[in-house]
Chain A
Amino acid sequence: MDKDLITRGLDRTPLWKFALWLLPWALLAAWGGQTIRDMFVQGLYLTNMDNRFAFGLWIVFDLTVIALGAGAFFLGFLTYLMRQKDLQQVLNTAVIVGFVCYSGAILTLAVDVGQPIRAWFAFWHANVHSMLTEVSFCITLYLMVLLIEYVPIILKNRKLRLVPSFLVLEFNLHRIMFLFAGIGAFLSFFHQGSLGGMFGVLNGRPFAFREGVGIWPSTFFLFILSAIAVGPSFIMLIVMTVSRVARRPLVDRKVLTRLGRISGLLLSAYIVAKLADTGIWIFRTLPDSGFDAAEFYRHGLFGIWVLFLELTVFGLLPATILLNRRRRQNPRWLVAGGLLACLGITFNRLVVTLQTQSAPTLSFDTFMIYWPSLQEWAVMLGVVAYGVILYSLSYRYLNLFPREHELKTSSGRA
């Protein structure tokens, strides 16, 4: 029915089947949307956040998706500015995933803050010493850059490209796209870092506080490093998932293993940096602030296993898998490595947000626990559903994978 809108030479499932695929995601998005409305109309008391747990699931979600979406800028940087032409095969997906991640994060933030209409105050009354100001500025601008990178992909739709002004716009945008790749890399460097910096500057929270270089605590650099380590893995996992769901090869195998290798290398660098940072924190920073590391690992669920898990199961293990050439050739191992890396970053963001707030500061504080409410899950899952819907529509109507057609014909499925 909508064959005319689908790229020539690519086959997609019949429209009714596609609608059936979208239906559960649409319902999830609707549930999320309804909950967002409740948040605005009734109030944030519908969550399980409170005065001791001011940051909850949504902040963890924001931090995680922004780190996972780092593939957009990093792969763009590698493709346009470092001339890694192979990675072009996954670049369209990376841009869309990035757009979905950042727009989703901004939407979640709009629900999370108590007065979203005042968000523009961050620009008008900017506190230039706050990491959060830096984050706001950069992610707003970066979302615009991602939109500018997304538009040409849309304009190359089979029918849209027949419109002369669309075609010419796309052509001219494509010519200067490397400029946006550079701007995007610049902006991303700073906001990925500032997200880490947000926690590293908290001198009132010894669990999170880190020393650093100038105004930038070590977490600034650790967040950047972990984001670029995990971004390629996330794109790799997405492409492999889409490939599996669609039951066809979409990119050359070597591109996937390449992404895995990049991830493995950067993850190794991250582990080394994190080990050093943790050591400095335990033996210098904490004692200087009058606290003791053991303090933070004796309460409730947050035992020393947290540190161990982050560094080994979610750090050394995926790094070792992804650095091993033979393992990378095996899709199961590749997925395992990528998945562990992505879970590791999720875990790290969770620890930095939740454990910071759980940990007592005053000596007579109790250890607090927090579990998100149903409404918080609804909003988060709704945003995830929005992402799936947007990507599904893009996959159906746009030519995301330049090699898909060749891989189809060469595998004899003409």
Chain B
Amino acid sequence: MLPTAYEFHWDTGHVVFLGVFYSVVVTVLSILVYTALRGRGDLKGQRTPAIAWEETFHDLPADRRACRHAFDGPAAGRVCHHCFDCATCAGHPEFTAIGRSLQAPQPPDPGVPMPSDTFYHRGHTWVKPAPDGTLTLGLDPFAQRCFGHPTSVSLPAEGQTVQSGERAVTLHRGRLEARLAMPVAGEVVASSSHDGQWRLRVRPDPASASLVNLLRGNEARAWMTREVDWLQGRLNPAGGHTTLADGGVLMDDLVAAYPAADWDDLWGQVSLDV
């Protein structure tokens, strides 16, 4: 039964072979324990929303991850590898400076209202700073037309802290679900919803990057034009679509207007979710 029965003795072969084998076993187990501990640390340290954002970001197709500097300036065709975290991106300051000096021409009218004092998150939420230092959040008109009239909205409670990228707002419409990413981090001061429309007021977390990662002005308009083109391409794959070059207006409820489209997919793409 025991290896020592029947005259077992250790020799070099045993030491080498079993040594290598058990080293590998120990290595594998150590890595697993380390991973488990890191995971526990991440859970405890409330890093789940950031991890979820990063994981989802890398699963998005390339055309949803275009770098903001591709819209109006110097980095045509560039794809973001940094989870849209422009605040910590090495290229962002340089591209911004080049973009300013290039003085790109006025982008065309995207066909949806885009006031110049509003900041836009790539997931189609907007942020407007209020005089008292809080930020107002809402869903931009493009996404509103994509989502139509949601049957239910779930919002974070007042007093709840949200992280940037955390999917704190959920919209439902029948079987469709959109989980919207928060454009900023902070504490929810007020939340309200009415007839499928919702508003949040957030006191921003001073330590976070706040508005650096968000689009504004010409950049935002250029982005929105591309989004409208993208949506048109998806809804009319045969190519026979009416262009908006002359400034037409998107229909109010696209889900009802294009019932055959894969809205589960489109809702996900619009809200940068998988």
A adjacent to B, CB under 8 Å: yes
Q: Is the CB of A186 within 8 A of B24?
A: yes
Q: Is the CB of B51 within 8 A of A168?
A: yes
The verdict on A41 contacting chain B, using a C-beta distance below 8 Å, is no
Among residues of B, the one whose C-beta sits closest to the C-beta of A129 is B13
Produce 1/0 per residue, A137-175, CB < 8 A to B: 100010011001000000010100100110111111100
The verdict on A409 contacting chain B, using a C-beta distance below 8 Å, is yes
CB distance from B62 to the nearest CB of A (A): 7
Q: Is the CB of A172 within 8 A of B39?
A: yes
Q: Is the CB of B31 within 8 A of A180?
A: yes
Given contacts A124-B3, A406-B61, A165 and B25 within 8 Å (CB-CB):
no
Q: Is the CB of B32 within 8 A of A167?
A: no
CB distance from A46 to the nearest CB of B (A): 31
The verdict on A30 contacting chain B, using a C-beta distance below 8 Å, is no
Q: Is the CB of A183 within 8 A of B262?
A: no
CB distance from B7 to the nearest CB of A (A): 12
Q: How far is the CA of A402 from the CA of B274 in the complex (A)?
A: 12
Q: Is the CB of A167 within 8 A of B28?
A: no
Q: Is the CB of B48 within 8 A of A9?
A: no
State which residues 45-73 of B face A: CB under 8 Å.
47-48, 51-52, 54-55, 59, 61-63
Which residues of A have CB within 8 Å of B47? 168
Q: Is the CB of A176 within 8 A of B61?
A: no
Which residues of B have CB within 8 Å of A389? none
Q: How far is the CA of A121 from the CA of B229 in the complex (A)?
A: 66
The verdict on B261 contacting chain A, using a C-beta distance below 8 Å, is yes
Produce 1/0 per residue, B13-52, CB < 8 A to A: 1101110010011011001101110110011000110011
Among residues of A, the one whose C-beta sits closest to the C-beta of B8 is A125
The verdict on B118 contacting chain A, using a C-beta distance below 8 Å, is no
The residue among A134, A148, A169 with the most chain B CB atoms within 10 A of its own CB is A169
Q: Is the CB of B31 within 8 A of A176?
A: yes
Q: How far is the CA of A399 from the CA of B265 in the complex (A)?
A: 14
Q: Is the CB of A414 within 8 A of B261?
A: yes
Given contacts A164-B48, A171-B51, A158 and B274 within 8 Å (CB-CB):
yes
Which residues of A have CB within 8 Å of B21? 137, 141
Q: Is the CB of B35 within 8 A of A169?
A: yes
Which residues of B have CB within 8 Å of A7? 274
CB distance from B172 to the nearest CB of A (A): 12
Q: Is the CB of B265 within 8 A of A9?
A: yes
CB distance from B155 to the nearest CB of A (A): 18
Q: Is the CB of A145 within 8 A of B274?
A: no
CB distance from B169 to the nearest CB of A (A): 15
Q: Is the CB of A171 within 8 A of B55?
A: yes
Produce 1/0 per residue, A1-30, CB < 8 A to B: 001000111010000000000000000000
Give 6 CB contacts A-B under 8 Å. A8-B265, A11-B262, A128-B18, A141-B25, A161-B55, A171-B54
18 additional contacts, CB 8 Å, given A141-B21, A145-B28? A3-B175, A3-B264, A8-B265, A9-B264, A126-B17, A126-B18, A129-B13, A141-B28, A167-B51, A167-B55, A169-B35, A169-B36, A179-B31, A180-B28, A406-B63, A409-B234, A414-B234, A414-B262
Binding site for B on A (CB under 8 A): 3, 7-9, 11, 124-126, 128-129, 133-134, 137, 141, 144-145, 148, 156, 158, 161, 164-165, 167-173, 176, 179-180, 183, 186-187, 399, 402, 405-406, 409, 412-414
